[in-house]
Copies of this chain bind each other. A is one copy, B any other.
Amino acid sequence: MTREAHISTLSLAVLGLISQRPCSGYDLRKVFSTTPMGHFSSSPGAIYPALQRLEKAGLVVGTVENKKTLRPRQVYSLTDEGKRELKDRLSRPVTRDDVIWRVDDLLLRFAFMDGVLGRDATVSFLKDFLSNIETYVVSLQEHLNAAREHLPPTGRFAMENGIEQYEMQARWARRVLGEIQGIQGNQRNSKEEES
């Protein structure tokens, strides 16, 4: 029955935060409004409905604190199914479409991997991420080369911006991969720079 819950990026952020510690809607709003996490939306009109959807889907449960007062504080925590779903979502393979359309989502998934996935899964996520990025950069460069002449200058600069974004992502992934493997991996010297 509860197959295939469609979890938006915002809901994933909510799920991830709750996985770190139980949160009320207000707690979540604070996180979103005071940290760069707020990049994924913000306001009550998004967060409370998201919480309701997650609860309806059985991924979180709200337990009421301050039962007496009129406006009780609802604190949400993950259900077992919620944990499963989160794990599931975080360990999904990285697709080409993900790097094209949903880099944010990928970064969010990565941000929550500690405590949900092991180091091996994190490393292979990064490797997949990196290789998909590298492939995509190549195709972007080809596209730019093909289009270069027909493009107005600012159009070309804008395309270069896009390419540089992905190149930056690749550098980041290489660096992080190095750090994660270097720190507590099977220690051989990091000798995998340059293909």
Contact = CB atoms under 8 A, between A and B. Distances in A.
B36 A153 contact: no
Interface string A88-121: 0000000000001100000110111111000000
Contact of A108 (B147, B158, B171): B158
A105 B114 CA distance: 33
A140 interface: yes
Contact of A143 (B35, B122, B169, B179): B35
A20 B152 CA distance: 10
B152 A115 contact: yes
A135 interface: no
What is the interface of chain A mostly: helix, strand, loop, or mixed?
helix
Interface stretch (A1-9, A49-57, A62-70, A160-168): A160-168
Q: How large is the interface on A (under 10, 10 to 19, 20 to 34, 35 or more residues)?
A: 35 or more
- In the complex, the count of this chain's copies comes to 2
Contacts of A147: 35
Nearest to A180: B153
A19 to B, nearest CB: 11
A166 to B, nearest CB: 10
A110 B157 contact: yes
B35 A154 contact: no
Contacts of A182: none
A179 B101 CA distance: 30
A154 B111 contact: yes
Contacts of A154: 110-114, 122
A138 interface: no
Given A114-B155, A122-B154, A160 B143 contact: no
A75 interface: no
A-B pairs with the 7 shortest C-beta distances? A111-B158, A114-B152, A168-B168, A113-B154, A114-B154, A111-B155, A157-B176
